[in-house]
Amino acid sequence: MDEISKKMEDLLITVTAIEQEMGRADVLFLQNFNATMKRAQRTVEVPDVSEVLIDVAKHLGNLKFQVWEKMLGMVQYTPVILDPNSASPSLLLSEDLTSVQEVKNREPYESEWPILGSQGFSSGKHQWDVEINRDTIIDIGITKEPPELRSTLNNISSKCCYERLTGSCGGLPKKSELQGKNKIRVLLDCDQNIVSFFDIYGKETLSTKKYTFTGKVFPFFNLLYLPPEPLKMVPAKVKVTVQ
């Protein structure tokens, strides 16, 4: 800024001097014409373009990847989305199908409310986390794809591999009891036919079970008692790796 101000000051002095010369008598002006013209001529310095160029490579290189990477902080990915077609009419699902709670107009003959995940697995390893209130009584696990419509899940427990979790009502070993809100992680290994249940807050394995049925399996939740707080599927942390 100092350099620009100095150049503007010099230019103003030159303009003032030329105006004074032009105001003189014609003879004097003509006598000093050449000198006046030289003073009026100024060399325009070409700026160093390298200093003002936009770093195109920095801003446009891998542009799609950069945009996608920044979007990771704005969006959520939930490994298991609940299937509304498999839910009892007494259950109310959230708009994004990641949480469920009991509605007041419960059918008197209903003693349990099974609901499945919308996506099945037939190979590989998978995991999903569930947030549960301490008063919840629930079976969590997997089930084979039922041949009938999922909206009529009758006696589905015989086709499942699950862990029953209970809170203040008791009825299970202490390690399976929930204190306050808890997060349970389900670890599924389709290749080994093994499903494990892990208490995230307690940092301990609740159980590991081997299932015998074959084919595609689905995340399974059987709600025996659900307090006002909903059961929630926990969003997963997404990481970006470049190979």
Question: 81-116: per-residue pLDDT in tens?
Answer: 999 988 877 888 999 999 998 776 655 555 677 889
Q: What is the pLDDT of residue 80?
A: 94
Q: Please classify residue 20 by burial: count the beta carbons closer than 10 Å to its beta carbon, then call 0-12 exposed, 13-18 middle and 19+ buried.
A: exposed
Rounded-to-integer distance, Cα 40 and Cα 95, Å: 75
Q: What is the pLDDT of residue 117?
A: 92
H-run or E-run covering 182? strand 182-189
Alpha-carbon 222 to chain mean position: 27
Q: How many CB atoms lie within 10 A of CB 80?
A: 23
Residue 172 has pLDDT above 50, yes or no: no
Residue 123's pLDDT band (cuts 50, 70, 90): very high
Smallest CA-to-CA distance from 3 within 40, 49, 45, 50 is with 45
pLDDT in tens, 124-164: 999 999 998 877 888 889 988 764 444 445 555 556 777 77
Residue 84: CA atoms inside 13 Å, Cβ hemisphere, count? Answer: 8
Per-residue buried b or exposed e for 35-60, using 16+ beta carbons within 10 Å of the residue's own CB: ebeeeeeeeeeeeeeeeeeeeeeeee
Among 31-40, 105-114, 170-179, 182-191, the minimum mean pLDDT is found in 170-179
Sign of the C-alpha dihedral, residues 99, 196, 209, 177? negative
Domain spans, the chain: 2-53, 84-234
CA angle 96, 100, 130 (to 5 degrees): 90
CATH no. for 84-234? 2.60.120.920
SS3 assignment, position 18: helix
Mean pLDDT, residues 113-123 taken together: 89
